[in-house]
Structure 1
Amino acid sequence: MAVLWRLSALCGAQGGRALLLRTPVIRPAHVSAFLQDPPTPGWCGTQYIHLSPSRHAGSKAASLHWTSERVVSVLLLGLLPAAYMSPCSAIDYSLAATLTLHSHWGLGQVVTDYVPGAVTQKAAKAGVLALSALTFAGLCYFNYNDVGICKAVAMLWRL
């Protein structure tokens, strides 16, 4: 299933002002790949913005990366309540890995979107990689030599 956002512009007679409405539209991917809306002149009409990768565009690695980001996000949704209900070292290390990976991908996207120039972008991505490696190593060190992430957060909540 492909999730689309439909931008509908309602044109009024008040000086050409338009009101944009965003409504989600869910269609099967095989239908939305071939479905096109008829072009409409001016600001009035409907445009569809694809938020999920098409199987006809991009590489297989890009599609796998996109899917992996969603899987890690869903894992975090399950790990956070599990960490609260039954803190243990397996959940501590799982949290260390998923939190680091989730933040690494998020910061990488910020660098891609906001850092101009190929050289500075490459340097910024190297910095994000170093920061992510240091974060993961620090969280693993904390889990091994101290109380762990779950119990540390519980201790902070008790303050």
Structure 2
Amino acid sequence: MAAIVRLSSVCHRGLKPLFYRSTLLARPLVAPHKDQERPYLLTARIHASQALHAGSGSKAASLHWTGERVLSILLLAMGPVAYFYPSPVMDYSLAAALTLHGHWGIGQVLTDYVHGDTKIKIANASLFVLSTVTFAGLCYFNYNDVGICKAIALLWSK
């Protein structure tokens, strides 16, 4: 079971961590040292993969998180507006917002579950291709067919 360990709090007790990590989440294990009878605290990082986005704690990551929340709230508001006031502007706005929302959501899943440099690069490239094809398909549907707003209205009318 993971415990929150502050490495500076164990160093003053005469214990040295075997691996110094900057994380606060650690799994404490006791490993005997060859020369001494006192055990050393072995800390293992729980999640060692590098972040795909801006570094944690940076302003860019905070703005990204805020942007995701704002887009989610906008999507909630765009549904009724698109139903009552269908227009090409709303169709293309929905196409962009839905594509971006899906791109960010799948990107978070990839960040959590895909590990290894090569696999991450392949997964991110696939995600960009999928997002591009999705946006192009929605724009094609808006231009050559009834559009997203009227298509949803037709689905609800039956």
**TM-score in terms of structure 2 length:** 0.62
- SS of the residue corresponding to residue 87 of structure 1 reads coil
Aligned position for 1:102 = 101
State the 4+ residue runs in structure 1 displaced beyond 4 angstroms.
Answer: none
Aligned position for 2:37 = none
Aligned position for 1:136 = 135
Specify every segment of 5 or more residues in structure 1 that has no aligned partner in the other structure, as ranges. Answer: 1-56
The alignment-based identity, stated in percent, is: 66
Q: Give the structure with higher Rg (CA).
A: 2
Aligned position for 2:157 = 158
Aligned position for 1:39 = none
**Count of residues in correspondence between the two structures:** 103
Specify every segment of 5 or more residues in structure 2 that has no aligned partner in the other structure, as ranges. Answer: 1-55
- SS of the residue corresponding to residue 115 of structure 2 reads coil
Cα distance between partner residues in 2 of 1:78 and 1:155 = 20
Q: What is the CA deviation profile of residues 8-51 of structure 1, one whole-angstrom value per residue up to 9, with x for unaligned ones? A: xxxxxxxxxxxxxxxxxxxxxxxxxxxxxxxxxxxxxxxxxxxx
Cα distance between partner residues in 2 of 1:146 and 1:96 = 14
Cα distance between partner residues in 2 of 1:61 and 1:130 = 24
Cα distance between partner residues in 1 of 2:115 and 2:131 = 21
Q: What is the CA deviation profile of residues 38-92 of structure 1, one whole-angstrom value per residue up to 9, with x for unaligned ones? A: xxxxxxxxxxxxxxxxxxx611111111111111111101101101111111111
Aligned position for 1:123 = 122
Cα distance between partner residues in 2 of 1:123 and 1:58 = 26
Q: Which amino acid aligns with 1:156?
A: L
Cα distance between partner residues in 2 of 1:95 and 1:81 = 12
Q: Which amino acid aligns with 1:113?
A: D
Cα distance between partner residues in 1 of 2:117 and 2:60 = 21
